[in-house]
Amino acid sequence: MYTHKLISIYLLVAFFVLNFSAKADNLSDLLQKADSLYNISSSDCKEVAKKIEKLAKQLDNKEALAKSYFFQASCYYKDKNYNKSISYFEKELEIREKNAEKIIIAESYYNLGSTCLKLDKNSKAKAYFSKSLAISKTINDKDLIYANHSALYITNEKLSEYKLALESLKYLRNTDIGDYNESVGLYEKKYFEQKQITQQKKKELSTVQQKLGETKEILGNATTKLKQSEEVIYTLEEDTMRKSLTINSLNFQKILGEQEMKAKQEELKLQQRITYIFIGAFIIILFLLIFLFKLFITKKKINNELSVQKDKVVKQNEEITQSIKYASRIQEAILPSEKIFTEHFVEYFIFFKPKNIVSGDFYFLRKVNEYVVFAAVDCTGHGVPGAFMSMLGVAFLNDIIRKKEVTQANQILNILRDNIKQSLNQTGKTGEQQDGMDMAICVINIKTNELQYSGAHNPLIIIRNNEILEIKADRMPVGVHKLETEFTNHKLNLQKNDQLYIFSDGFQDQISGKDKEKYKSKHFKEFLLQHSNLTLNKQKQALENEFDNWKGNAKQIDDIVIIGVKI
């Protein structure tokens, strides 16, 4: 490649242009480093050249950017990746054509031509060498003129353009570099042979054109004779045709008469068929109309009966709905008043959202001596069956806590389980109803601030100093179970500003209206922690909004109860 002047010019310009800032100094160092690596390691040189490219773009330094392209193109050329090399030489040339001196532009054209020659893109290489030669002649750069003639001599030889190759050879012979007399003689011989072949081909073409003219003349004469023969044949055929037409006309009239007779017979048969079809269709339609009329009468009768039945069902539904609504008022009446929560807690909230009119979930609060007992309960099922279980649960809890004054959390669950099994006749046998309750119950000694907790499936969440403390429940319901044991009684001392949460699983099991995923326990606990800095009243509002947004257009799948209190 032609680089003996280009590299020195790059380094000289870089030293003066890029010496104005810290980045410019760094750019100058990189240019010197690239030049030192140029003949040692193409991979290291490429890496430095890419850094020059990036820095030159930041400084908007066109000269340095062109040099980075030159180094990368040269390295790819050494690695024999000629396509990549051409790409970077073209980028360099694009900048050079706008800003650089003629000698640098000429050398850029030469480099592109040399790379194209490696890929046998001979026509393209010739164009680049020719442009480089034209510029080098205007500035009288003898070295570059010589280099371009040498390249054009090789390129024109590959293109079999011996006359142009000969012109370059004659120039090279007149220089003091190399002995080209033998090559000039050889190419003069090749050019002469090519010229003789061309003249011979022209002579042969002229002969062929002459013979083609003679052939056209013979063909014209044959065409004239053919037309004359056709006219004679046409006259003979016309006479024969007239006679044939006369005979055919008579035969045709005879055949036409026979066809008319057959057509009349077929027409009569067709009319008879149409008559039969019409009569048959009329009979079918008549029977169909009779059938449709009977069907209409029957359908009308059925519709009248259905309408009566529908009215009965609507009336019954209204009566059932009214009954259920009345039952919901009864259920609301047996739930504890929120005033009781106000008396015993700094702050509180109750998020209570039945799936239907009545609920299988309920909440409970009682004060016995120095103990405050509160619970969140999830009965088997929801709607009317769940409501019956919830009323049964409220009655049993009132009896256990208020009358019997049981204040040990796990004992309350043990006694409640016995009562449920006894009232529902549960013995644990296969096929029996497995109704029961999941619940979390807390007992707080308001004098000592000691908390007792016991749970059936449902845990207790305590948020203290922005951290979650979860107390796990026993993995069995308050009801019949194949592996029944005593419920665990957890005890711990409460601290001021502790926030306690007990709940059913309705919120966590709710399906999203968007992706049909459950809300899940982990997500629920994270939400409580994120909003624990709010007042409990605002936490309730945040929970309601979160539930509505998560549910979207989906149906609520279960009853929900969540109790939050602050110590």
The answer to whether position 133 is within a domain reads yes
Q: Quote the pLDDT of residue 384.
A: 78
**Which domain-ending residue is among 161, 193, 225?**
193
- Residue 123 lies in domain: 6-193
- Residue 337's pLDDT band (cuts 50, 70, 90): confident
Strand-pairing partners, residue 373, are 366, 443
Tell me the per-residue pLDDT of 134-146, one tens digit each, with 9 for 90 and over: 999 999 988 889 8
Which is higher by pLDDT, 255 or 363? 363
CA–CA gap between residue 61 and residue 415 (Å, rounded): 88
The answer to whether position 73 is within a domain reads yes
Q: Quote the pLDDT of residue 18.
A: 37
**Which domain-ending residue is among 193, 226, 256?**
193
Beta strands at 478-479 and 436-445: parallel, antiparallel or unpaired:
antiparallel
The answer to whether position 146 is within a domain reads yes
The answer to whether position 322 is within a domain reads no
Q: Quote the pLDDT of residue 9.
A: 42
- Residue 11's pLDDT band (cuts 50, 70, 90): very low
The answer to whether position 430 is within a domain reads yes
200 has a pLDDT exceeding 60: no
* Count of CA atoms in the C-beta half-sphere (13 A) of 459: 12
- Residue 19's pLDDT band (cuts 50, 70, 90): very low
Closest CA to 75 of 85, 67, 64: 85
CA–CA gap between residue 462 and residue 349 (Å, rounded): 15
468 has a pLDDT exceeding 90: yes
The answer to whether position 537 is within a domain reads yes
Buried b (16+ CB within 10 A) or exposed e, 375-385: bbbbbbbbbee
Q: How many other C-beta atoms lie within 10 A of the C-beta of residue 32? A: 14
461 has a pLDDT exceeding 60: yes
Q: Quote the pLDDT of residue 8.
A: 43
Which is higher by pLDDT, 94 or 279? 94
CATH, residue 100: 1.25.40.10
Q: Quote the pLDDT of residue 315.
A: 63
pLDDT (average), residues 360-376: 95
- Residue 449's pLDDT band (cuts 50, 70, 90): very high
Tell me the per-residue pLDDT of 35-52, one tens digit each, with 9 for 90 and over: 777 677 778 888 888 888
Residues 288, 289, 295, 300, Cα dihedral to 10°: 160
Q: Quote the pLDDT of residue 4.
A: 42
The answer to whether position 242 is within a domain reads no
- Residue 542's pLDDT band (cuts 50, 70, 90): very high
Q: Quote the pLDDT of residue 475.
A: 95
pLDDT (average), residues 212-232: 64
CA–CA gap between residue 41 and residue 20 (Å, rounded): 30
What is the chain's mean pLDDT, rounded? 81
pLDDT (average), residues 17-24: 48
Biggest CA-to-CA distance, the chain:
141
Tell me the per-residue pLDDT of 75-111, one tens digit each, with 9 for 90 and over: 999 889 999 999 999 999 988 888 778 889 988 999 9
Which is higher by pLDDT, 190 or 518? 518
- Residue 406's pLDDT band (cuts 50, 70, 90): very high
pLDDT (average), residues 440-444: 98
DSSP 85-125: HHHHHHHHHHHHHHHS-HHHHHHHHHHHHHHHHHTT-HHHH
**Which domain-ending residue is among 144, 162, 193?**
193
494 has a pLDDT exceeding 90: yes
Q: Quote the pLDDT of residue 203.
A: 56
C-alpha of 320 from chain center: 50
Domain count, the chain: 2
Closest CA to 4 of 152, 103, 128, 138: 103
Q: Which residues contact 328 (CB under 8 A, 6 or more apart)?
A: 354, 357, 358, 359, 387
21 has a pLDDT exceeding 80: no
Tell me the per-residue pLDDT of 152-161, one tens digit each, with 9 for 90 and over: 989 988 888 8
23 has a pLDDT exceeding 50: yes
Which is higher by pLDDT, 402 or 459? 459
Considering the chain, what percentage of its residues have pLDDT values greater than 90? 40
- Residue 173's pLDDT band (cuts 50, 70, 90): confident
Which is higher by pLDDT, 279 or 256? 279
Give residue for tokens 């040099």.
Answer: 67
Low-confidence winner among 110-114, 188-192, 321-325, 382-386 (lowest mean pLDDT): 188-192
198 has a pLDDT exceeding 50: no
- Residue 222's pLDDT band (cuts 50, 70, 90): low
CATH, residue 555: 3.60.40.10
Q: Quote the pLDDT of residue 256.
A: 62
pLDDT (average), residues 389-397: 92
The answer to whether position 159 is within a domain reads yes
CA–CA gap between residue 466 and residue 132 (Å, rounded): 77
